[in-house]
Amino acid sequence: MYSLREEVKIVIEDSIAQCFKTSVVGTSLVEPPPDIEADLSTNVAILLSKLDSVNQDVQQIANALANSIRHHPKGIIRKVEVTEKGFINFTLDEKCLASNVLKVATDGENFLKDPPNSKNKKILVEFVSANPTGPLHIGHGRGAALGDSLARIYKQCGYSVEKEYYVNDMGLQMEILARSVEARHKEMQGNPSPFPDDHYKGEYIREIAGKMQEQHRSDFQIYPKEYLLGLIREDLEKFGVSFDHWFKESTLHQKGKVEETLKILESRNCLKLKDGALWFFGQGSEEDDKDEERVLRRSDGRYTYFASDIAYHRDKSERGYSHCIDIWGHDHHGYVGRVNSAMETLGLPSGFLSILLYQLVSLKRGGKRVAMSTRSGEFVTLREIMDEVGTDACRFFFAMRGPNSQLEFDVDLAKKQSNENPVYYVQYVHARISSIFREASERKIAVNFGTEPDWKELRLEPEERNLMVKLLLFPDILEFISRATTPSPHLIPTYLIDCATRFHRFYDKHRVLDAPEQARQFRFLLLKATQNVVHLGLSLLGVSAPEKM
């Protein structure tokens, strides 16, 4: 995958080695400077000034580097300037920019993608994993969008990636589901009884009971969870999310994986019997820890979710994954330390498991926040919101904020067919470019993406340059996400919105079809490259790129 930043960093690194016999480029920033007419900027001189081995002030360092960069044989930088604060600003060579934009236009798929499995790392992304006790709600939708987009990004960057849904098909919640449906079933048969407060009260419970009555079924332990799991599969398929594996908790018990894991923990002296229950005291735990979540086996002999989870993650390791990413709702934050402690006790590598927590989703409709409660059944389902605003808007809006930020989903904004709606604003770029190429075909104007422009005749406009630089920075965005400690796809919507803004500025100011021949052919290349990048960016978010709007 081509990297414009990496190209510039190589030049900077060579100049640092030549001038100062050291290197700090790995920690320096190479970014587009704000409100400055330059393509990229670096703070490397500021970092070097803090080294005793360099022993020069910022301006001296910056000027020495700028002079070296001007004479670098790579020739990708046309102009170098030093600011008063010591930042070094770069204006890139037009031929370098345009030739790479030509590659994005003609070979975007390969130019913007690393070869499959080139990173030699097998990643498992486990997400959603909602208990089959009810339909998916919009909070689950956020987790689904996050996990699926990250998996797509990792694949784009050359990782081997698989996606998994962990089905909690055992335990207390499944028992409550069965009792809830059975209670409603008895009501329908004229045998009502008090409905406990801890039971599920949503209308979907009545629907399941009704279906069981119609089909003359009485398997309350099986039918309700299988029925709801089917609905979950349907919703996720409609949401554009598929899984390589649906892993059931019950298989861990059937194969003896939980018992095996507890024996390993016991051999490492981290289990204690207290009050008839078996407790885990792993790395960082205290003997007097009273947290009931550390119980692995209750006094009545039943295993806890925690016991299954430890066995489940050990199973992931045994299946050959080198890195596992779990995506959980923020309400599981207290669980993170316990699971990490268990992984350490099992002897798994410190980087084996990453747990990403995402914050709440609130819904705003008509300017007012919608109240929701899962247990009472008063929540907005993912299917409802998809039906109302469309899958594209759902996926884009869910991806617009990092997982650590709370997300307010504005239904009215998501339904707007105007540039106020960010997903519409970005999709319109792809549709508009498609319409330009259709008009070119109708007017019999030749469009040739395989011919390099005549550099002697080419004069780039500022709006063209700004768009070109933005397009060539997209691979760096993807690499940054894939290597981040807390990866998040929200950088892609941010990038696409900025890219759309630069495109509209260019198109509003400059002709394409009626431009002179050389300028027109180059602008065709620029438009095709823009279309390819926008298409890829949207696809990584699970959003369509329409030809017409």
* Phi-psi map region of 269: left, alpha, beta (phi>0 left; psi -120 to 50 alpha): left
Q: How far apart are CA 353 and CA 375, in angstroms?
A: 30
Task: Identify whether the C-beta of residue 375 lies closer than 8 Å to the C-beta of residue 200.
Answer: yes
Task: Identify whether the C-beta of residue 5 lies closer than 8 Å to the C-beta of residue 474.
Answer: no
Q: How far apart are CA 439 and CA 442, in angstroms?
A: 5
Q: Do 480 and 496 belong together in one domain?
A: yes
Strand order in the sheet with 407-410: 368-370, 361-365, 407-410
Residue 107: how many CB atoms within 10 A of its CB?
Answer: 13
Task: Please provide the size of the chain in residues.
Answer: 549
Confidence (pLDDT) at 30: 87
Identify the domain boundary among 210, 231, 252: 231
Confidence (pLDDT) at 281: 87
Cα 226–227–230 angle (5° rounding)?
85
Q: What would the 3-class secondary structure string for 442-482 be?
A: HCCCCCCCCCCCCCCCCCCCHHHHHHHHHHHCHHHHHHHHH
Largest separation between any pair of C-alpha atoms in the chain: 90
Residue 60: how many CB atoms within 10 A of its CB?
Answer: 15
Closest C-alpha to 532, from 498, 508, 496: 496
71 φ, ψ (degrees, to nearest 5): -105, 15
- Residue-wise pLDDT for 48-72, tens only, equals 998 888 889 999 999 999 999 999 9
Q: Residue 398 has which token pair?
A: 């869910």
Residue keyed to tokens 């119609």: 214
- Residue-wise pLDDT for 310-322, tens only, equals 999 999 999 999 9
Beta-strand relationship, 271-274 and 368-370: unpaired
Give the H or E element holding residue 188: helix 172-188
Task: Identify whether the C-beta of residue 177 lies closer than 8 Å to the C-beta of residue 224.
Answer: yes
| 3-state class (DSSP) for residue 150 | helix
Q: Do 464 and 512 belong together in one domain?
A: yes
Q: Do 105 and 53 belong together in one domain?
A: no
Tell me whether residue 53 is in a domain.
yes
Tell me whether residue 465 is in a domain.
yes
Confidence (pLDDT) at 284: 52
Q: Do 186 and 79 belong together in one domain?
A: no
The DSSP bridge partners found for residue 363 are: 370, 409
Residue 530, burial from CB neighbour count under 10 angstroms (0-12, 13-18, 19+): buried
Tell me whether residue 29 is in a domain.
yes
Tell me whether residue 247 is in a domain.
no
The secondary structure of residue 137, as a DSSP letter, is: B
Q: Do 226 and 195 belong together in one domain?
A: yes
CATH number for the domain spanning 426: value is: 1.10.730.10
Report, as ranges of residue numbers, the positions in the chain whose pLDDT lies below 50: 287-289
Residue keyed to tokens 């320096």: 28
Over the range 137-174, which residues count as b (16 or more CB within 10 Å of their CB) and which as e?
bbbbbbbbbbbbbbbbbbbbbbbbbbbbbbbbbbbebb
As a whole number of Å, the end-to-end CA separation of the chain is 31
Q: Do 47 and 112 belong together in one domain?
A: no
Confidence (pLDDT) at 301: 93
Closest C-alpha to 445, from 515, 387, 389, 392: 515
Q: Do 106 and 184 belong together in one domain?
A: no
Q: Do 109 and 208 belong together in one domain?
A: no
Q: Do 110 and 198 belong together in one domain?
A: no
Identify the domain boundary among 76, 92, 108: 92
Q: What is the pTM of this model?
A: 0.92
CA distances from 359 to 264, 416, 438 (A): 34, 25, 43
Number of domains the chain contains: 3
CATH number for the domain spanning 62: value is: 3.30.1360.70
Tell me whether residue 113 is in a domain.
yes
Strand ranges, E, within 382-536: 407-410
Task: Identify whether the C-beta of residue 409 lies closer than 8 Å to the C-beta of residue 415.
Answer: no
Residue keyed to tokens 């002897």: 347
Task: Identify whether the C-beta of residue 376 lies closer than 8 Å to the C-beta of residue 295.
Answer: no
The boundaries of the domain holding residue 201 are 173-231
The DSSP bridge partners found for residue 280 are: 271
Tell me whether residue 334 is in a domain.
no
Residue keyed to tokens 């709440």: 360
From the CA atom positions of the chain, what is the Rg in Å? Answer: 28
Confidence (pLDDT) at 33: 85
